[in-house]
Amino acid sequence: MPPRDKKTIYLDHAATTPIHPQVLEAMLPFFKKSFGNPSSIYSLGKDARAAVEIARTKVAKLIGVDASEIFFTSGGTEADNLAIMGTALANKAKGSHIITSAIEHHAVLNTCINLEEKGFRVSYVPVDKYGMVDLLAVKKAITDETILITIMHANNEVGVVQPLREIGAIAKQRGIIFHTDAVQSVGKIPVDVDDLNVDLLSIAGHKIYGPKGIGALYIRNGLQIMPSFFGGHQESGMRPGTENVPAIVGLGAACEIALHDMKKQSASLKKLRDMLQKQIEKRIPNVNVNGHVKERLPHILSIAFEHCEAESIIANLDLKGIYASAGAACTAGSVKISHVLSGMNIPPDIAASTVRFSLGRSTTEKDILFTVDLLEEIIKRMRSTYPITEDGGLKSRCIITFSDSRELLSAEKLLSKKDVTFSLIALPLNLRQPDLCTTGIVCFWEDKDAVVDLLKKQTIKRRDAHRVDGYSQGIRAGVKRHIEKDFWAEKPGKQSKNSVPE
């Protein structure tokens, strides 16, 4: 990538977070002088063991449990696998039925699918249009064979916080083990396992400004689960293998900081998140907020920009130094929609235009305003090259590809000064090649010769020009609905059903 003319703005903290300076500082000694094996009986090993146990106590304190109930893993995925697989295998004599939701992280869903292949039965309960698990569906799904309920605390895509307390009470009343993937919620909102009636809880370090490759599983004392693999005595035999001491220390430090700063950080992030939403709704027409208006994490905003495919929005932002994530992935001729948005029964075209912004410690008001300024420009330009006409007809378009982003940015700068209708687009999968920039320029086919001539005159190198007569499955599904809504009419930003109150 070329040098940015603006500072980098990271708005994808739900994907991962930068390591906190104090966390890194706490870890460094264990890469150097304090490198001992925690199982060794001499002083170097004892120092490492002491550091591991101090970190264990810090993790336990964040969720209100005893340190003996915390077991370190390689991350959230392993913690989910250990909880679900370990509970199922340890309790198969009691039953073979598991309940989960349709919008879980793949670490949970794919583990459940694997258990189905082993003969277990899994019920995937639905969620409502806001992404909230249906409590009645949970009750109805329970049978005499049910041994485990696993429902995430907060969703990673739309931020909705699930009614764990009520689900946990249902599980407790029926004597069913209750697990939650709390990777997104821990450190962002208060989490107390007794208050939530939880028996098993998964944590990941890199979501809370800790290192990658470290996580933890809370296992309520007295609960029997089967280890995923076997070896030495580490982690009481639950997770054998020499401990990753630097990462464990880092996780402990991150949990300590999160607990100390949570109240202040949560309030700050909510204020910024609401500001971002209000500014977008005020300045950009036809947007839709996904998720629950109240029961959501303070830092996540999932919002759809109608008539704009999310991956192209992300590509446009990326070229300006802003990082966010999409609710869909483009493939050849179609859009792969997120299972979370599909599970919420969000129309395909809205899901295909969904962007997730997730704020963090470094986010400022200036970042929010700068991002909205760019978004307003990007969305207006993208909608100008939308291939569907007002009467529902289809206009052919041209996608121009480039070898690198420098040529692309030069082309964008040039065309922006000319009377040309164009926008930047994430290349469909069938046009992507290892030696091509994954973003191109799209214009109407009738303007192709004029655009190519402008590039030639300025000696801007392009690779190819492709005629595109179709449009994605997500857009196709929404054409009729958009025409009926008179999308093309100029009007102020539409207030979504989930608008933040003034």
User: Which residues form the catalytic set?
Assistant: 330
Residue whose pair of structure tokens reads 């699918």 in the numeric block: 113
Which residues, in sequence order, are bridge partners of residue 216? 72, 203
Q: How many CA atoms lie within 13 A of 90 on its CB side?
A: 16
- From CA 233, how far away is CA 97, in angstroms rounded? 31
Question: Rounded to an integer, what distance in angstroms lies between the CA atom of residue 164 and that of residue 147?
Answer: 17
State how far the Cα of 387 lies from the Cα of 468, in Å rounded to an integer.
10
CA atoms of 127 and 276, how far apart (whole Å): 26
Distance CA 65, CA 200 (A): 11
Q: How far apart are CA 225 and CA 221, in angstroms?
A: 11
d(CA 72, CA 450): 61
C-alpha 38/C-alpha 47 separation (Å) is 7
- Rounded distance between C-alpha atoms, residue 287 and residue 224, angstroms: 48
- Which of the 8 DSSP states describes residue 362? T
